[in-house]
A and B are shown apart, each in its own frame.
Chain A
Amino acid sequence: SQQGEEDPQALSIQEGENATMNCSYKTSINNLQWYRQNSGRGLVHLILIRSNEREKHSGRLRVTLDTSKKSSSLLITASRAADTASYFCATDRNSGNTPLVFGKGTRLSVIA
Chain B
Amino acid sequence: DTGVSQDPRHKITKRGQNVTFRCDPISEHNRLYWYRQTLGQGPEFLTYFQNEAQLEKSRLLSDRFSAERPKGSFSTLEIQRTEQGDSAMYLCASRTDGGRSYGYTFGSGTRLTVV
Residue numbers of A with Cβ under 8 A of B are 1-2, 4, 31, 33, 35, 40-45, 48, 88, 92, 95-96, 98-105
Contacts and interface: CB of A to CB of B under 8 A. Distances in A.
Given A43-B43, A98-B56, A100-B45, 14 more contacts: A1-B44, A2-B44, A31-B102, A33-B102, A42-B106, A44-B106, A45-B104, A48-B103, A99-B33, A99-B48, A100-B33, A102-B44, A104-B40, A105-B42
A24 B109 CA distance: 26
Nearest to B35: A102
B101 interface: yes
B62 interface: no
Interface of B: 4, 31, 33, 35, 40-45, 48, 56, 89, 91, 93, 95, 97, 101-109, 111
A31 B105 CA distance: 17
A97 to B, nearest CB: 9
Contacts of B93: 42-43
A35 B44 CA distance: 14
B108 A42 contact: yes
Nearest to A30: B102
B60 to A, nearest CB: 9
21 contacts: A2-B41, A31-B102, A33-B102, A41-B108, A42-B93, A43-B104, A44-B106, A45-B103, A45-B104, A48-B103, A88-B43, A95-B102, A96-B97, A99-B33, A99-B45, A100-B45, A102-B35, A102-B44, A104-B40, A104-B41, A105-B42
A96 B95 contact: yes
Nearest to B60: A1
Contacts of B102: 31, 33, 48, 92, 95-96
A21 B45 CA distance: 23
B41 A42 contact: no
